[in-house]
Structure 1
Amino acid sequence: MDEHTPALLTLILAGGSLASRRALAAARPTVAAAVHAGPVAWRQAGCSAAQQQHLASPDHAAIERALRWLQQPGHHLIAADDDGFPPLLRAAPEPPLALFVDGDPSHLWHPAIAVVGSRSPTPSGRALAAEFSTAFSRAGLAVTSGLAAGIDAAAHRAALDNDGITVAVVGNGPDHVFPLHHRSLQAAVASRGAVASEYLPGTPARPAYFPARNRLVAGLSLATVVVEAANRSGALITARLAAEAGREVCALPGSVRNPRAAGCHRLIREGAALVESADEVMALIATALADAVPDLQRHLATPTEQGRRARLPPTLASDPDYQCLWKLLDHDPTPADSLITQSGLTAARLSSMLLAMELAGIVVCEHGRYCRNPGFPTSTASMTQAEGQ
């Protein structure tokens, strides 16, 4: 075993200021060299007395536990300077030193929208969270949330129910479950999406960890949608952190008699976008979506330009709008404006559909124009047959 991983775990366990630990790592060619540099180097990097004590006497039991967890299939540790670290999170304020991931780390690169809100929502709020998350999933976007009770859980479940990608960021180690009744939900997210944490395996949930968790939810997402939130709500923290990261913040309005809508109304007064549909959210992030797709394709090393044969997801194949758009697309690139005119679809709806088809590998974009992927079946009938194969 190389010395890099235990050294990185030691640096994470030192706790305290991220800035000082980041400065320490940057001052040496490797993390191991930084951790072993000694007290003088630690002080020069700005490490506190407590951090220096942790570096001098690391918790070897915790490190061994984390190493055992990492040896299991599907478990990953991605350092902030690794090529696999999600660029959107790296560009956000206070990115973590590393992420522990249970599931597929490539999902953290997927263009995502965070859906957050009350832990005790109204039935209407829960239904709206599911409705918006369903629309995002069908548009090919990932749904990010914090695996908390209420709105978070509704968002994750809706994405899973629609064969979408969902990423849960937890305020504990990736091997712990909080709340406990979400054990099966967390397992499903890890199996079909990803569960991410900046805390070592074995770390229990603590109140102070949840606000820190919220910055990762916001940092991994192109936009944060607040469905229901009281005036004192963790969802408002996520929204503030999203704004600080330069991401879109959207809030759903509610009844003035609903205390769980008060936080959303406050966000709207402070400049958040008032949204009533998922299409309005996707219209707000259309430019950011276009920028995110090439990064994802390069990371997956499966660019659609190679003509990769792909299957249309069932949620797309059964949608008449997708059948209509498929008939309009040809092997000659067509501008989006022409597709809007011919299809009668709104710009937001067309943009989300093209994104879903591009990520599925059935459409390619060349200089802002769209055409069929040459490796995909050339008729609507054969498209349906391929789906059934």
Structure 2
Amino acid sequence: MEQEELRAWLRLVLTPRVGPGTARKLLAALGSPHAIFEASGLALSALVSRREATELGREPEGLDQQVQATQAWLADGLPLASGRRSRFVLSLADPAYPRALLEAADPPLLLFAQGQLDLLARPAVAVVGSRHPTPQGQENAYAFARALSEAGVTVVSGLALGVDGAAHAGALDGLRDATSGSTIAVVGTGLDLVYPKAHQALAQRLSTQGLMLSEFALGTPPLSPNFPKRNRIVAALTRGTLVIEAALQSGSLITARLAAEMGREVLAIPGSIHSPQARGCHALIKQGAKLVETAQDVLEELQLGQGGLPVAGNQAGLFASQGDDEAGAAQAEHAAQEADPVLTAMGYDPVSQEALSARTGLGAADLGARLLELELMGQVARLPGALFQRVGAA
């Protein structure tokens, strides 16, 4: 995008009291940002209110600084294997603007992108869920996303803590060759910032192996209203939204609702009837969302299985098989876990040590020692409230 064109688009985005809907109305009538700003006040007044026409007649405060910052940001993008820079600004008129988003009800005027831009044209699934998932939910997010990426599906999420971060990491770890799916992070800040800060390293990987995407100008801080707003992009870019874990009042359910309104599929993983983090998924399933237990379920429901996806035969269907030897080892480990009386008594719901003691007949000292061993082995996680939960597939 040339400097003058970039300036015109940024001016349109930054003009106060002129929202995206009004801007798209003006673009439909006049053709381009340049034409909008060259139009007479009388011509503008025929399309928008007098106050909006007045605002369009003067440059917004800070426009020069924003143009300079954006140009510098673009120039600092690292070169990719294709020879192009890794940073982009896409307008509604750009051929690279994702068609799926262009057809949505409220497409952003501009998209700031960093990384592998071709991911916008690939089949994608949104993977969303709680910022505070259970250990099993965290593992499910990682493993489902990895399996989907290995199958050639791009995983889209929001870079939040919890399920989002696990999904991005799983999808990146699922990269094997050019047919893999990778991942897109749709964020609620400017792309010159990383939020949350705990995801600095993950964002760096995404910026080269995946794609970072934002509708917000550089320097935009993590404002609360921006995060629900970005969820419509997460939903629009994908063929369906998979909810891993979610409370009844959560941003993940907003994404699922938006996906349904756009005609996309909604899928959900069931959980324990005692877990607050499962209630949102159960509510979605009651409303008609597809209940899924394996990554293969997702591929089949969305008709995305052409790339092939061998899945290990466990209830959660978490990891793609990597050969008969590995599958056999996993089955042997699973059988060993089933033989453990503490794991058998624990089941898959969070449980207190007192309840486990009653189920197993073990004393506090012996049970505590065994729980510590299982925790160190990665088979049990310690939860807030002095509870324990089994980790891994059923």
State if a TM-score over 0.5 links the two structures: yes
1:150 alignment counterpart: 162
Classify 1:51/1:256 alpha carbon distance in 2 versus 1 (closer, same or farther; 3 Å): farther
Give the distance between the partners of 1:52 and 1:134, measured in 2 at CA. Answer: 51
Classify 1:279/1:67 alpha carbon distance in 2 versus 1 (closer, same or farther; 3 Å): same
1:86 alignment counterpart: 98
Say which of 200, 213, 237 aligns to 1:196: 213
Tell me how far 1:289 sits from its aligned partner: 7.8
Deviates further, 54-63 or 77-86 = 54-63
Classify 1:271/1:28 alpha carbon distance in 2 versus 1 (closer, same or farther; 3 Å): same
1:132 alignment counterpart: 144
Tell me how far 1:318 sits from its aligned partner: 5.2
- Give the secondary structure class of the aligned counterpart of 2:30: coil
Classify 1:110/1:50 alpha carbon distance in 2 versus 1 (closer, same or farther; 3 Å): same
Q: CA RMSD in A?
A: 2.4
Unaligned runs of 5+ in 2: 78-85, 176-180, 308-318, 325-394
Say which of 61, 67, 70 aligns to 1:63: 67
Say which of 28, 31, 42 aligns to 1:29: 31
Structure 1 position 226 matched with structure 2 position 243:
yes
Classify 1:317/1:232 alpha carbon distance in 2 versus 1 (closer, same or farther; 3 Å): closer
- Indicate conservation of the 8 Å contact 2:128/2:243, yes or no: yes
Unaligned runs of 5+ in 1: 294-314, 321-389
Kindly report structure 1 stretches of 4+ aligned residues shifted beyond 6 Å. Answer: none
Say which of 114, 123, 134 aligns to 1:111: 123
5 Å-filtered alignment, 1:1-389, equals: 1-14=2-15, 16-46=18-48, 49=51, 52-53=54-55, 56-58=58-60, 59-60=62-63, 61-73=65-77, 74-163=86-175, 164-286=181-303
Tell me how far 1:243 sits from its aligned partner: 0.8
Give the distance between the partners of 2:120 and 2:15, measured in 1 at CA. Answer: 25
Tell me how far 1:39 sits from its aligned partner: 3.8
Tell me how far 1:67 sits from its aligned partner: 2.4
Give the distance between the partners of 1:203 and 1:39, measured in 2 at CA. Answer: 30
Larger Rg: 2
Deviations 1:98-145 (A, max 9, x none): 210011211111111110000000001001111210110111111110
Tell me how far 1:251 sits from its aligned partner: 0.9
Give the distance between the partners of 1:160 and 1:170, measured in 2 at CA. Answer: 17
Task: Give, as a single letter, the amino acid of the residue that structure 2 aligns with 1:68.
Answer: A
Give the distance between the partners of 2:147 and 2:215, measured in 1 at CA. Answer: 29
Give the distance between the partners of 2:50 and 2:145, measured in 1 at CA. Answer: 43
Tell me how far 1:152 sits from its aligned partner: 0.1
Classify 1:207/1:126 alpha carbon distance in 2 versus 1 (closer, same or farther; 3 Å): same
Deviations 1:33-75 (A, max 9, x none): 1133254444433368368526623232223222221222211
Deviations 1:138-177 (A, max 9, x none): 1111111000000000000001112141100000111111
Tell me how far 1:285 sits from its aligned partner: 1.2
- Indicate conservation of the 8 Å contact 2:98/2:120, yes or no: yes
Give the distance between the partners of 1:26 and 1:159, measured in 2 at CA. Answer: 38
Question: How many pairs does the alignment contain?
Answer: 297
* TM value normalised by structure 2: 0.70
Give the distance between the partners of 1:317 and 1:254, measured in 2 at CA. Answer: 24
Give the distance between the partners of 1:138 and 1:43, measured in 2 at CA. Answer: 53
Give the distance between the partners of 1:137 and 1:226, measured in 2 at CA. Answer: 17
- Indicate conservation of the 8 Å contact 1:24/1:41, yes or no: no
Tell me how far 1:242 sits from its aligned partner: 0.7
Classify 1:179/1:52 alpha carbon distance in 2 versus 1 (closer, same or farther; 3 Å): farther
Classify 1:279/1:43 alpha carbon distance in 2 versus 1 (closer, same or farther; 3 Å): farther
Deviates further, 61-70 or 95-104 = 61-70
- Indicate conservation of the 8 Å contact 2:183/2:206, yes or no: yes
- Give the secondary structure class of the aligned counterpart of 2:127: strand
- Indicate conservation of the 8 Å contact 2:147/2:320, yes or no: no
Task: Give, as a single letter, the amino acid of the residue that structure 1 aligns with 2:225.
Answer: A
Give the distance between the partners of 1:48 and 1:136, measured in 2 at CA. Answer: 51
The share of aligned pairs that are identical, in percent, is 41
